Amino acid sequence: MMPAADAYVPGHGNRRFGVRAYDLDLDYRIATNHLSARAVLEIEAAEPLDQVALDLYGLTVTKVKVGGRPARFTHRDRKLRIALASPVKAGSRLSVEIDYAGKPRPMPSVFGPVGWEELTDGVLVAAQPCGAPSWFPCNDRPDDKASYRFAITVADGYRVVANGVLAGRERRSGRTTWRYVQAQPMAPYLAVLHIGRYVSTAAGEVEVLHPRTVPVGVGTAFERQADMLEVFTGLFGPYPFDGYAVVITADDLEIPLEAQTLSTFGANHAVAGWNNERLVAHELAHQWFGNSLTAATWADIWLHEGFACYSEWLWSEASGGRSADELAREHHRKLAALPQDLLLGDPGRDDMFDDRVYKRGALTLHALRALLGDRFFDMLRDWTAANRWGVVTTPAFVDFAQRYTKGDVAGLIARWVYAKPLPPLTFAG
């Protein structure tokens, strides 16, 4: 059996090749939840290959071509295995075209159902960490980033939102095709699709797509998004993509979720108040930490969630609320009262979304801020610039941060990230 590409999501991904580009052409019938699709993948072999194994769940493959010629394939156990007419060498490029169809549904996982989800009147995709195969064939690894092109055809009257920039739309016979281009590399789990009856409201440089019945301006949790973007650009460096949008569904959602260039919220998250406002800040911060800079493996998820959680505290501080120090003290007290059995640098599949990962990750950064002093934000801006659209690890972060202090960064990370007992907190002041 082939070793798992990532131990946290066994059965997903393949390290024998990488995908450089996805071109997805989807025709979706909302009333019957039926999808007819074609995916063209540009693949590069990392080692000699005689087959390509992709992830795809719950949909029926009808035809496959490699290099424009029909290819033999099998599709079972959530794996689409495509035989190559002749073996190829490492470094070879292949164009793989896949026709498929069916009624998409969420993908079962140890995290619950993830991926494609029907709403009361529309669709959303929430794929983190392993739901991308619920709607397109992919190499489902967080470190396998590619460019994307989307063409999504739906009935008139519905708005389609996908990653990247809206590149055009064409209307024909009561149906509209929406085209999006995501030029910057993106992990499959960050690919997103929204179909709904949305209107668009501008909030500075942020576009908000929402039902007419859900207010998004003054007096809501989304009121200060433009200010958040300005604050985070100052702290973390230039916004890494061509635009940012927020989609608010008509349905209530348990939690919001980031995707590259956009975030998803439920109508319940529009209600004013700190708990929702911090979530708006959290998802925006993921554009830098998680989307532009993506952890090589899920074991390093603190590099996403710790940074996004700390961004909530930074926004509070910048916007006249409680300081990061005050919030750090509060959450350190709370964590100290909880079991000390979580290893931040490898929390395990069952605990990767445990709130302790978020809060302890944020506290780690606060402790590092105390160590680096005034150079902390210089380091963050340089870190995001040096790794823009790339893949990161904790050891690489340690080596990078060490350049900004004579203090012991490795020792600090060892205590906070690679040991279970909660260390005492040094405050940034």
CA distances (Å), origin 342, targets 339, 363, 411: 8, 14, 18
Show Cβ contacts of residue 212 under 8 Å, excluding neighbours closer than 6 positions: 197, 199
What gap in Å lies between CA 48 and CA 40, rounded to an integer? 21
Q: Which amino acid is at 294?
A: T
**Residue 404 is a catalytic residue:** no
Q: Which long-range contacts (CB under 8 A, 24 or more apart) does 282-286 make?
A: 282/256, 282/308, 282/309, 282/311, 282/312, 283/246, 283/256, 283/257, 283/258, 283/308, 284/225, 284/228, 284/229, 284/232, 284/244, 284/311, 285/232, 285/236, 285/311, 285/312, 286/258
Marked catalytic residue, from 100, 283, 312, 404 = 283
Annotated binding-site positions = 282, 286, 305
Marked catalytic residue, from 57, 198, 244, 358 = 358
Annotated binding-site positions for Zn(2+) = 282, 286, 305
Torsion region of 10: left, alpha or beta (phi above 0 gives left; psi -120 to 50 gives alpha): beta
- Please name every residue paired with 168 in a beta bridge, in sequence order, or none if there are none: 179
Closest CA to 213 of 205, 201, 225, 226: 201
- Please name every residue paired with 102 in a beta bridge, in sequence order, or none if there are none: 35
CB-based contact 315:228 (threshold 8 Å): yes
Show Cβ contacts of residue 307 under 8 Å, excluding neighbours closer than 6 positions: 285, 288, 289, 290, 361, 362, 365
Residue 60: how many CB atoms within 10 A of its CB? 11
Helix-helix angle 324-336:302-318, to 10 degrees: 130
Task: List phi, psi (to 5°) of 97.
Answer: -115, 130
Class of residue 165 by CB neighbours under 10 A (exposed 0-12, middle 13-18, buried 19+): middle
- Please name every residue paired with 201 in a beta bridge, in sequence order, or none if there are none: 208
User: Which DSSP string do the residues of 274-309 spell out, in sequence order?
Assistant: HHHHHHHHHHHHTTTBTTTBEESSGGGTHHHHHHHH
Question: How long, in residues, is the chain?
Answer: 429
DSSP letter at 418? S
What gap in Å lies between CA 361 and CA 367, rounded to an integer? 10
**Residue 358 is a catalytic residue:** yes
Active site residue ranges: 283, 358
